[in-house]
Amino acid sequence: MRIIRDFQCSNDHITEKFLENTVESIECPECGEPSNKLISPVRSHLDVVTGDFPGATAKWARGREKQIQRERKAVANHGDDAAWDVAKNR
């Protein structure tokens, strides 16, 4: 199976290639040094609104509840303008 992989040589040149999955190193096209396969981090984002990730949803709900409590406390102590200041400075 062919995939896109990143390779880095000892001179810190990074090269992206579409190669077979089994390839572990290539020659750097810039300097000719051996380039080894990089393990790149995977980006992920948990969508808390859908409820598909109960832990993330619960964390968001707790944070939101705390924010609401801070805003209500600010309104009770200082009026509506204070709630706006609290909301801006989360």
User: Which of the two residues, 46 and 36, has the higher pLDDT score?
Assistant: 36
> Which residues neighbour 11 within 8 Å (Cβ) at sequence distance 6 or greater?
28, 30, 31, 33
Task: Return d(Cα 88, Cα 5) in angstroms, integer.
Answer: 42
Query: Average pLDDT in the 10-22 region?
Result: 91
Query: Average pLDDT in the 21-48 region?
Result: 85
Task: Return d(Cα 58, Cα 27) in angstroms, integer.
Answer: 48
Q: Closest Cα partner for 59 from 70, 47, 69?
A: 47
Query: Average pLDDT in the 55-74 region?
Result: 87
pTM score > 0.85 for this model?
A: no
pLDDT at 9 over 90: yes
User: Which of 56-60, 69-73, 76-80 shows the lowest mean pLDDT across its residues?
Assistant: 76-80
Query: Average pLDDT in the 11-24 region?
Result: 91
